[in-house]
Chains A and B, each alone.
Chain A
Amino acid sequence: MAKLRYHIRFPEEKIPAPIIYEIGHEYKVVTSIRRADVRDTTGWMDVEFLGDTEEIERAVDGMREKGVLVDPIELNVVE
């Protein structure tokens, strides 16, 4: 089992969507939200995904397909 950490950003139109819930149902991953700031026009979450590495990668791709932005927890590591 792998634990991978991501910073997820929600565009305004995606804020009401239950995307974390959906991902937990569509893929064999356990999600754990550690920090979040969701407002009227913007939102982000720091989330841990627990599962097989490949399944987590599929879940991340799935989130991107749903229109949210997924980055490493460190944000940009290329300086």
Chain B
Amino acid sequence: MAKMKALVCRECGKEYPTEAIHVCELCFGPLEVKYNYDEIKAKVSRESIEAGPRSLWRYQDFLPIEGKPTIGLHAGYTPLVRAHNLGAFLGIDELYIKNDCVNHPTLSFKDRVVAVALTRARELGFETAACASTGNLANSVAAHAAQAGMQCYVFIPGDLEAAKVLGNLIYRPKVIEIEGTYDDVNRLCSEIAGERQWAFVNVNIRPYYAEGSKTLAYETAEQLGWRAPDQVVVPMASGSLLTKIWKGLNEFHRVGLIDSVNTKVNGAQAEGCSPIATAYKDGRDFFKPVKPNTIAKSLAIGNPADGYYALKTVAESGGAMDTVTDDEVVEGIKLLAQTEGIFAETAGGVTIGVLQKLAKQGLIKRDEVTVAYITGNGLKTQEAVVDSVGRPFRIPPSLAKFEQIFGKQGEA
């Protein structure tokens, strides 16, 4: 029997064949992959995984592909960094940073989901990849499609920053700038996805695409020595990543690779786009869509597809959610860089800012093994910190002048 049993509706439970569909025809609920866990359990062991490739494909028995991986062969297996300095600052004895700033090839966690999505898309016979994106996703789809020799269409809002547009154009996809409001862009992309026989990674391929995020949980558990952390802090955009980290940990437990999962899953959003965290704070089980207004643009999804499920996951795990202001985002980026030498994009600033708040509130305790997920590289969002990191010392080529500023011991 195949490891993938079916696609199943998360609302009504109706099952579908494992094709390029994403919405239940009956109730319009979202579809996700249903696995045959008995088969997976019989096949995998800690040893078999450890003998696998140093990429996310060491977990391919848990991923929604039928054959061998063909695209994104080097994505994943990023460092889990023991953050001694940041931990000491925050009062957490065993703190780790899961560092997807260095994911291959486009320096964000999107390389995971795209590797899985396009491998599956190719299995399903697609020759064209597409996505609607404001940044990291488009970069990753364009890069993977170039490597795979697939046609690629990237849809972006018409007012995107030049650097982000360039980050797509370099891979030579067809980049389509759409005039209009964000809602117009969203609506048109949804319609185009319905009209074309393309692998639209975050629309018709979404059930497969989203599963790639689970590998962040698998790697965390393996890198911790086959155990689940006590606390995780996860940035939220659509909310999908948070739900998949929870799913990944529970799958590892289900097949016996880890003994237990007592992990509290915590969600982080920027105040300027916090529909999920605001619902959590208000004690609601539903979110109200918002118009994003934050520097954390990779998290700026005002009407998040998995918002409801993220709320459910946090409640189920006993975690919490919190928000940070844009100033706190910048402080979070700087704190991580200055304590651990990791330059994260704005989403990382959100995660670190919320981690700090949760620790201060006592919701994360000193003795709890804690993992913070850093999902993208700071070189992509330099504009966010350009005015808050100071300037270089400018001096003439004179030893006397140097020593005048820095003294004999080299300390300014």
Contact = CB atoms under 8 A, between A and B. Distances in A.
Interface of A: 5, 9, 34-35, 37, 42, 44, 46, 48, 69, 71-79
Contacts of A71: 183, 186-187, 289, 303
Contacts of A73: 23, 28, 190
Nearest to B191: A72
A76 B28 contact: no
A75 B132 contact: no
The residue in A34, A42, A74, A78 that gathers the most chain B C-beta atoms within 10 A of its C-beta is A78
Contacts of B305: 74-76
Interface string B27-50: 111000000000000000000000
Contacts of B302: 76
10 contacts: A5-B28, A35-B11, A35-B29, A72-B186, A73-B28, A76-B186, A76-B304, A78-B155, A78-B186, A79-B132
Contacts of A37: 286
Contacts of A42: 286, 288
The residue in A37, A48, A69, A73 that gathers the most chain B C-beta atoms within 10 A of its C-beta is A73
A46 B187 CA distance: 15
Closest 9 CB pairs of A and B: A72-B190, A46-B28, A78-B132, A75-B305, A75-B303, A79-B137, A76-B303, A34-B28, A76-B301
B245 interface: no
Contacts of B137: 79
Contacts of B248: none
A77 B132 CA distance: 6
A46 B27 contact: yes
B193 A77 contact: yes
A75 to B, nearest CB: 5
B185 A78 contact: yes
B22 A74 contact: yes
B182 interface: yes
B212 to A, nearest CB: 13
